[in-house]
Amino acid sequence: MSPVGIQGAQNLYPTEEIDWVVGDGLKLDFHHEFDIVHVSNFSPFTMVDSLETEQAKLISGQIMRYLKQNGLLVFVWNSRLDESDPQGTWANYSIKQIARYFEAVENANYLGTWATHSQLSTLFGSCSLSNFVTQLTAAGARFHSKTARIVAAVQKL
Ligand SMILES: C[S@@+](CC[C@H](N)C(=O)[O-])C[C@H]1O[C@@H](n2cnc3c(N)ncnc32)[C@H](O)[C@@H]1O
């Protein structure tokens, strides 16, 4: 994480109960320690030529190392869902691309890939991650340029 990101998070959650670490998220010293790892818009996923490259597969492997057995990896990605990369800086992965990527993660049980949007989350609450909201979000993304949010989850075996 960047020092600025950590500082912002510390300001948001001022508590002694969190150990804040500045470091390369792919090379931390933790192994098999966590029940949940949550990665939100983690830029290494946009620095690869495609999610199908070996380099891309390594990223999930490096993140999965931090999890205990049965631990959850929750992945979040802001995207227009159209596989475009208009500025050449952010990959607008489709739901299918993300699903294919996480289905192939080794030693893991694939739980699913969904799309949602902050307004739909407000409306549907805990049902926001569902096939219905995913289809609604995908249809909406075709008609307006607002960014949707892809969420994927796998459980370590
Ligand atoms: C697009 S921002 C997302 C910030 C926040 N997680 C969010 O979802 O709004 C990407 C963040 O990933 C951090 N980052 C990029 N490569 C990293 C790495 N190898 N280890 C840790 N953090 C990294 C950057 O410093 C930046 O803060």
Domain positions in the chain are 29-115+151-156
Report CA(40)–ligand 1 centroid distance (Å): 8
Report CA(108)–ligand 1 centroid distance (Å): 24
Looking at this protein, which amino acid is placed at residue 155?
Q
Q: What is the pLDDT of residues 45-87, one digit of tens each?
A: 999 999 999 999 999 999 999 999 999 999 999 999 999 887 7
Which CATH number is 29-115+151-156 given? 3.40.50.150
Cβ burial 11-35 (10 Å sphere, 16+ → b, else e): eeeeeeeeeeeeeebeeeeeeeeee
Give strand pairing partners of 112.
153
Q: What is the pLDDT of residues 82-118, one digit of tens each?
A: 998 877 789 999 999 999 999 999 999 999 999 998 8
Contact 92, 56 (CB under 8 A): no
Q: H helices within 26-150, ranges in order? A: 54-64, 95-103, 118-124, 131-143
Report CA(120)–ligand 1 centroid distance (Å): 25
C-beta 106 within 6 A of ligand 1: no
